């Protein structure tokens, strides 16, 4: 099977850094965050995509680059892509069935400023008792923030892990951003 072409773009998220993303004809394939420069983010993303044989990087930017940039910015401001991440197209063609079940259960059921435990997410997706496997799936999430793995926490409210650049500090910051936006929305 021929590798699917993907095109790369990046957007600066105020207060967090640069987010790079790869998109195909079906939607978002990979995103990585948060880097000090656009170049650092894009170089890292190219390296990651080189390890995904189902895809190949096309040197042209996405035709809908501005739409993707706006979509990421909306998410981090609590806009429509945060309120309804199901509207953001994702390319899941190389996801394993378990990953797909977990990722979509998370995306479709855990809303902005909400959290869920690894065990609860396992049960919600039809895999009761698979909390550790959910943790592994979260560490392999390719489509953050639209598969919002930062919302998955440990039992009894523990923060759990986070494999994104910035680790647990970033996970805490993302949850704080969501809670702050939720509070601001209630004040308006």
Q: Write down how long the chain is.
A: 188
Does residue 149 have an active-site annotation? Answer: yes
Query: Tell me, what DSSP letter sits at residue 152?
Result: E
Q: Exposed/middle/buried for 181, CB within 10 Å: 0-12, 13-18, 19+?
A: middle
Q: Which of 44, 143, 149, 181 is catalytic?
A: 149
**Residue for token digits 């936006």?**
181
Q: Exposed/middle/buried for 1, CB within 10 Å: 0-12, 13-18, 19+?
A: exposed
Q: Which residues pair with 159 in a beta bridge?
A: none
Interhelix angle 97-109/131-139, nearest 10 degrees: 90
**Residues noted as catalytic:** 149
């Amino acid at each position: 099977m021929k590798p699917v072409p993907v095109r790369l773009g990046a957007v600066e998220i105020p207060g967090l850094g640069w987010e790079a993303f790869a998109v195909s004809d079906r939607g978002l394939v990979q995103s990585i965050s948060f880097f000090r420069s656009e170049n650092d983010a894009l170089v890292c993303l190219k390296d990651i995509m080189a390890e995904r044989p189902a895809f190949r990087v096309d040197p042209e930017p996405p035709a809908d680059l501005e739409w993707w940039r706006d979509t990421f910015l909306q998410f981090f401001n609590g806009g429509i892509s945060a309120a309804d991440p199901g509207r953001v197209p994702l390319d899941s063609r190389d996801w394993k069935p378990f990953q797909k079940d977990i990722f979509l259960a998370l995306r479709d059921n855990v809303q902005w400023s909400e959290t869920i435990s690894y065990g609860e997410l396992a049960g919600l997706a039809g895999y009761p008792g698979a909390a550790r496997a959910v943790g592994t799936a979260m560490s392999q999430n390719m489509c953050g923030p639209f598969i919002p793995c930062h919302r998955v926490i440990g039992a009894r409210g523990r923060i759990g892990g986070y494999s994104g650049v910035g680790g647990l500090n970033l996970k805490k910051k993302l949850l704080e951003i969501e809670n702050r936006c939720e509070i601001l929305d209630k004040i308006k």
